[in-house]
Amino acid sequence: MPSIALIGPGAIGATVAARLARSPDHHVAVCVRTPFGHLRIDAPEGLISAIPQLLLSPVNAMIVALLDAASAA
């Protein structure tokens, strides 16, 4: 099971996290400052809902296979 972490996801990163977290083949962690209950994305094909692991502090970080850090310019 690949471990994937997304740092500070915005609209696009949250969509990617929600899509990945729906698969049982992926372990998805979202690194955020403010906790939230779940992701709900209104996609063209319908609602995407997922509950990724939340990492609020680097102290709780783990080794991942893929790390995505994107920021808006």
Provide the residue ranges of all domains of the chain, joining segments of one domain with +. Answer: 3-69
Residue 73 reports pLDDT greater than 80: no
pLDDT tens-digit readout, 12-59: 888 988 998 888 888 888 888 889 888 999 989 899 999 888 988 877
More confident residue, 64 or 72: 64
Whole-angstrom Cα distance, residue 46 to residue 61? 32
